[in-house]
Structure formats: structure tokens, C-alpha cells
A and B are shown apart, each in its own frame.
Chain A
Amino acid sequence: MSNYWSDVLGGTKSLAVGLGITIKAFFQPVVTMQYPREYVKMTPRFRGHIDLVKNEETGGPKCIVCGMCQKACPSGCITLAGKKPEGSKKKVLTEYTLDFTKCSLCGLCVESCKPGAIDFSKEFNLAGPSREAYVFDLIKRLKERS
């Protein structure tokens, strides 16, 4: 019988406590992010697909067209090309494509890049209508960013 009373009283009390918790939550600010209108700021260590790093002096890419990233890539998703302009000793990057459909985000290309010309982007919000949408022209992306 004492069990019965402690059940009734304890139960009533715990129900009231529960109501208190939810009413507090009701008046607290909303914590969800309104996704299509708001984005999360990604952490510095986030590894998205690679992007070219801008050379602050020239405004172009830092890339010296050595091709190490292309060699390091196990899935062969990097294609790059460059040519020597008239009267210059250094090559200039003319084409840099990343086929992101094959990329496994291993980061070997970034590790192998001596001049630090490629880096992970903070892009996580990728959606596209076709496979072709994931063949990124990184030079174009670099121009769009600056």
C-alpha cells in the first residue's frame, strides 16, 4: 500500500518535472539551422574537393605545372596542362580539371604539392543534375572566387 502512494505521488511529481523541462525548451531559442538559407561554417580541417591556391603577387594560380599531383592521384582524376609562353622559362597553367566523381578525397595530391598550390576547399554542399557537373574546372573556380 505504501508502494501505491509513493507511485502516485512520485509519478505526479515526475510528470510535473517533465512538463517544466519542455516548457523551458519551448521558450528557449531555436537551435536548428534553416538549411537552404543558412550554411554551416566549416572547420579549417574540413577536407572538401581540392581547389587551386591563388598567388597573391600575380593573381594567377601558384601552380608550377610540375604534374606531381597528377602522378600522386591513385584514381587518376586530375588532368592538368601548361605551356611556356614566348620568352619565358616557367610554364603557365592552362588547364586543370578535377573529376570529382572518381575522387576519394585521400589528399595525396595536396601532400605531394611542393609549392602548396592546391588545398582543400570548404565546399560541402554539392548537388548537381548530372555526372558532368562534377568535372570541375579549377581555373574557372579560382577566377570566380577572386
Chain B
Amino acid sequence: MTANPVVRLLISLLVVIGFIAFNAAFLVWVERKGAGHIQRRIGPKEVGPYGLLQTVVDGVKLMSKQLFVPDHVDPILFRVAPLLILIPAVMSFVTIPFSDVLVARKIDLGLLMVFAFASVNVLGLLIGGWGSGNKYAVISAARAVSQNVAYEIPMLVTTITIVMITGTLNMNEIVAQQAGGFWNWNILPLGKNFLLAAIMPISFLIFFICSLAETNRAPFDMAEAESELIAGAYTEYPGMGFGVFFMGEYANIIVGCALATILFLGGWQCPFGLFPGVHWFLIKLYLLIFTVVWIRWTYPRTTIYGLLNLSWKVLIPFSLSILLLTAAILKVL
């Protein structure tokens, strides 16, 4: 791995964009199949074997639609907003380690960078809603921002807990510290500290709920709310403009699940300390993504009040007390 850093970065960017595009297409299929089986029907099955080509066909349909820009929109903001959702998600992948060597850049402040880019995502939503020049889109965008702000806090606080335990912001280092079996993983660190093992599962739960809310997934998809608000902040977007928003959403799901894998589930480490590698990372990643789909088709959408109450009354107090407890445990013991 002594290639020119620029070449290396370009190659990894291409790979990451391919990975995201493939996953976005594939995840839409998984989503529809999952929904189908949970509702005890089959889901897509006509186009290609097991309906695998369904999303490709959907993509072709979206691309063949006219890119209609309404008169009353802000022309620049309207066009920039989908990219503001997608590009930060792509950028986050630069520091996410798929395995010991499969990482674009091992940055010491990798975790900070991922969260910095993750918060740009909100800006994309807000600009999309505002640029549409439509009061309903603005209202949904405002709701989405209040939601994202509310859930960023507990998410960051739980991440700080992990950073306190591992003492680093470098994600490669965080995973390396969880080596040697599932009893060393941060979700249940029995091998490291029994007291921490009692509170870390709650921490993982908080992180996972927050990453669901951050990516506007059900039951927290207030920004889009396809059945009630007619795609909320994206109402005015036609064809592939809407498609790019969705690709960004799916890319964000992958980032969220990858982060949960790295911070809590030991990244590319094997549960029994044998043969660590990228396959373990992908298995854990896709199990988490399946859980996301599973959750979406289980719970009905919350109200905005229920959503904010959950964050401010439950998640934030819990995450703060976990932070204090962790500090106490690390300092005293």
C-alpha cells in the first residue's frame, strides 16, 4: 500500500461510489422483499430472478422522467440539495475501515470527520425544503431539522462514551482494541470490565435508535412521511432528483450501521477471535441493515411530539448518565 495518495484516494472514491450505488439499488430490493415477507406476501418477483432487477428497472424509469424544475423554486438551491445529501454520505466512507487494510484514509480524527459530514446531511434537507418554495416542504424540512438536532445530541454523547473507553478517535484503533472475541466488543465488554458490560448494551440501543432517527428512517421518517405528507421536504422533486435523495438516505443507513458495527460490534473482528476480515464486517453490517428494515415494517410512524419527547426525555438523560457512569467506572476502577 505504497501507491500515490492521490491515486489511492481516487480509486477508493470510485470503489465507494460503486459500493453505495450497488447497495442503494440492492437495499431497495431488500426493503421491498422484507416488507413483503413480514406482511406474508412475496414482494417483487417479476423482473429478473426473485425480482432482483426490479430496482434497476425503477432506476431506468426514474431517469427517463423529465427533470422538471418548477417556476417558483430557488434554482440553485433546488438543484444543489440532493447532492448535499449524497456527497457527505460518500465522504464519510473515506474513513470507515472495512478491514485492517481496506480503508481509504486512516485518519486520527476519523470519527470526528464522519460526524462532521453527517451533520451536513441536515443542511441538504433544509435547503431542499426551503429551495422548493413550498410552505409544506418548508414545514417538513423544519421538522426534520428539529428531529436531527434532537437526535444528534444523544448520538454524540454515546460516541463520547466509546471514545472515553478506547481513548482514540481513530476508527482502526477502536476496532483493533476490540480484537479477540465477542466478550471484548464494546457492546458487552465482559473481558474488559464487568461494570461497563452492564451499561454498554443500553448505550448501543441509544446509538442505534439515534442512527435510525438521523437517517430519517421509520418510525422516525417525519421528513419524508410518504403516506401523509406526500414525500414531505422532497415534494417538488421529480425523477432522479428524488432518486438521489433516496440514494443519499440509503447511503446514510449504511454509514450509520457501519458506525454501529465499528463502535460496538467489533468491526471486522471475528466473534471468536479467529480469522478477522472484511467478511465479518459485511456480515455484521448487513445484519444491522436487516434490523433497520425489520424495524421499519414493525412500528408505525411516531408523531413529532412523541419523537422529540423520546429524545429529550429519555435518550438524552440516559446517554448523559451513561457518560457519567462510564467516567466514574474508568476513573475509580
Stretch at the interface among B38-46, B47-55, B245-253, B271-279: B38-46
Chain A residues with CB below 8 A from B39, complex form: 25
A26 CA / B39 CA spacing, docked (Å)? 7
**Nearest 9 CB-CB pairs, A to B?**
A32-B41, A22-B298, A31-B40, A26-B37, A22-B38, A18-B298, A26-B38, A25-B38, A30-B42
The smallest beta-carbon distance between B54 and chain A, in angstroms, is 16
**Is the pair B40, A30 in contact by a Cβ cutoff of 8 Å?**
yes
**Is the pair B299, A15 in contact by a Cβ cutoff of 8 Å?**
yes
Ordered by A's residue number, 20 sampled pairs between the chains whose C-beta atoms are within 8 Å are A4-B313, A18-B298, A19-B294, A19-B298, A21-B298, A22-B38, A22-B294, A22-B297, A23-B294, A25-B37, A25-B38, A26-B34, A26-B37, A26-B38, A26-B294, A28-B40, A30-B37, A30-B42, A31-B40, A32-B42
The smallest beta-carbon distance between B259 and chain A, in angstroms, is 22
A34 in contact (CB, < 8 A): yes
- Which residues of A10-36 are within 8 A (CB) of B? 15, 18-19, 21-23, 25-32, 34
A18 CA / B39 CA spacing, docked (Å)? 13
A8 in contact (CB, < 8 A): yes
The smallest beta-carbon distance between B307 and chain A, in angstroms, is 13
A44 CA / B180 CA spacing, docked (Å)? 66
- Which residues of B20-37 are within 8 A (CB) of A? 34, 36-37
Contacts from B to A (Cβ < 8 Å) = 34, 36-42, 294-295, 297-299, 313-314
Total contacting residues, chain A, CB less than 8 A: 17
Chain A residues with CB below 8 A from B314, complex form: 8
Closest to B297 in A: A22
The smallest beta-carbon distance between B84 and chain A, in angstroms, is 33
The smallest beta-carbon distance between A97 and chain B, in angstroms, is 38
A28 CA / B42 CA spacing, docked (Å)? 11
Chain B residues with CB below 8 A from A31, complex form: 40-41
A8, A22, A29, A34 — which one has the most chain B CB atoms within 10 A of its CB?
Answer: A22
Closest to B298 in A: A22
Closest to A27 in B: B37
11 further contact pairs, Cβ within 8 A, besides A25-B37, A30-B36, A30-B42: A8-B314, A18-B299, A19-B294, A19-B295, A22-B38, A22-B294, A25-B40, A26-B34, A27-B37, A29-B40, A32-B42
The smallest beta-carbon distance between A10 and chain B, in angstroms, is 12
Chain B residues with CB below 8 A from A4, complex form: 313
The smallest beta-carbon distance between A121 and chain B, in angstroms, is 29
**Is the pair B294, A30 in contact by a Cβ cutoff of 8 Å?**
no
Chain A residues with CB below 8 A from B42, complex form: 30, 32, 34
The smallest beta-carbon distance between A26 and chain B, in angstroms, is 5
A26 CA / B37 CA spacing, docked (Å)? 5
The smallest beta-carbon distance between A13 and chain B, in angstroms, is 13
Closest to B309 in A: A7
A26 CA / B43 CA spacing, docked (Å)? 12
The smallest beta-carbon distance between B29 and chain A, in angstroms, is 16
A26 CA / B313 CA spacing, docked (Å)? 33
A23 CA / B295 CA spacing, docked (Å)? 10
Chain A residues with CB below 8 A from B313, complex form: 4
Chain A residues with CB below 8 A from B34, complex form: 26
**Is the pair A30, B41 in contact by a Cβ cutoff of 8 Å?**
yes
- Which residues of A47-83 are within 8 A (CB) of B? none
A28 CA / B39 CA spacing, docked (Å)? 10
Chain B residues with CB below 8 A from A25, complex form: 37-40
A25 CA / B40 CA spacing, docked (Å)? 6
The smallest beta-carbon distance between B117 and chain A, in angstroms, is 30
Closest to A21 in B: B298
